[in-house]
Structure 1
């Protein structure tokens, strides 16, 4: 069995944790099932471990078969990493891997921090009142994207958009009416006065870090084998290693730091090698009888992230008396109908 867990904050500031389970099978990917969704008073390793144990008791009333719980997938939050040793006490065969899509997102966030001018350009290009002017001047170019920082890879996609269309956008900005002296327009014009610096930064991002959005999209796909997932990550690692300059060095250091905190990554990396007879020794953390079960083990917690999308469909202004217990039942039913 694979267990995926994550938590988020709902519209009233309460912590909500979702638990996804699936059966590890050697010939096909697991089907994700939202087992339970609970409101937590606080979030730490103890509360998450307790939540997982109580959730698994829904599958195994009375006593959970510890030999069946093989894989825990979560993000890399410190309390999630601290949860794994607590669960290991109850489930000796458990391997904890942190989401590799999250890892690529953290890499993209590091790139964003390295280029404040580009980040300022992207964040200030918000002018709904000038949409008509943009569409008139550039009818064949889509509107500038508005990245959502919590959405994996969206900032990088925005940076690549400006790499392709910056010159045309500069023309529109330069031709805005002189009476338009709003703060956002003034900020963008001031930034573009030193156009060569912004262009240089965007060109560097395009040349070296155009891969994270594509890689994240591939990692979000359902049904890929463990070998296919590692092949996608290996391609991303090759791009990381080839990035030039001091920024490239810092990005590589960040990637190494992320992988060092992912205890299960190196363990699972040995599974395809054993199956292809590239490696003789089995990972010591995996029993021989369980090796085949990891053929389609997930390396991302995408299923949990998708389950959180159910909240915006259910929690509306028209609902004023929905209890936490009924909310959980509705979310579980919605996810079963929507995401399977």
Structure 2
């Protein structure tokens, strides 16, 4: 499977996305997904690794959290009480009125094989929507969103690349990529959704029988199964 992925990518540029999850056994799992960057069209993502780190504090945290009883969780009890609060009902109405569109917009941002230009437009839609929302809460959201995006070098780079691909002029000092590299970013994703989709495959595969596999053999099994439909 890995050899086939190497053949598909060859000497081409590719993007890689890394994320993590905790499985039903309390293990801390790291996933790596790659896909070929090609200006002529999108390529299928491929899972190349599913590893259990030798040292990971999050694994311990995950195991502990899974031992909690719902009746003992203060947050759950407080949440039940909060649902009867008039202030909370009013706040939820405000959120529904002005931020209710976000789930749908986020789903569209997660669309597979989407052009970078389209992804940036969706992000701009979110920013403009928040800016037009009244209230102190919205002002705080606008400030936080702008701070996060301004601090993100990756986001600023993707915006500049998107502008170039859209025919706009961008100072070259903002971009350290050549023309071939820029064109190959046409279908570069802005999210790590492909890794999240791999998590779903992993959880579907992980049955009572496969939990007895060693981490090394489980990784091989997951990689083969996850790539079966696209190789």
Do the two structures share a fold, i.e. TM-score over 0.5?
A: yes
2:167 counterpart of 1:277 = yes
Q: Per chain length, whose mean CA-contact separation is higher, i.e. which structure has more relative contact order (CA < 8 Å, sep 6+)?
A: 2
Could you tell me which residue of structure 1 aligns to residue 94 of structure 2? 204
2:25 aligns to what? Answer: 12
Q: Is the 8 A contact 2:161 2:175 kept in 1?
A: no
Matched, 1:29 2:39: no
Contact 2:113 2:187 survives alignment (8 Å): yes
Larger Rg: 1
Matches within 5 A, 1:137-216: 187=81, 191=84, 194=86, 197-216=87-106
CA distance change for structure 1 residues 213 and 339 in 2, over 3 Å: closer, same or farther? farther
Deviation readout 1:203-258 (Å, 9 max, x if unpaired): 21122111220111101111210011011111111111112211112111221232
How many residues matched? 200
Alignment gaps of 5+ in structure 1: 45-118, 125-186
Runs of 5+ unmatched residues, structure 2: 1-13, 58-74
Judged with a 3 Å threshold, the aligned counterparts in structure 2 of structure 1 residues 122 and 36 are, in CA distance, closer, same or farther, namely same
What corresponds to 1:249 in structure 2?
A: 139
| Structure 1 match to 2:204 | 313
**Contact 2:117/2:166 (CA < 8 Å) preserved in 1?**
no
* 1:245–1:280 distance in 2 versus 1, CA, 3 Å: closer
How far residue 274 of structure 1 moved from its aligned partner, in angstroms, is 1.6
Q: What is the aligned-residue RMSD (CA, Å)?
A: 2.6
Residue in 1 that maps onto 2:156: 266
One of 168, 172, 187 as aligned partner of 1:296: 187
1:274/1:280 contact within 8 Å kept: yes
TM-score of the superposed pair, with normalisation by structure 2: 0.77
TM-score by length of 1: 0.54
Change (3 A) 1:309 1:338: farther
Q: 1:121 to 1:198 in 2, by over 3 A?
A: farther
- 1:203–1:320: structure 2 CA closer, same or farther, 3 Å change rule? closer
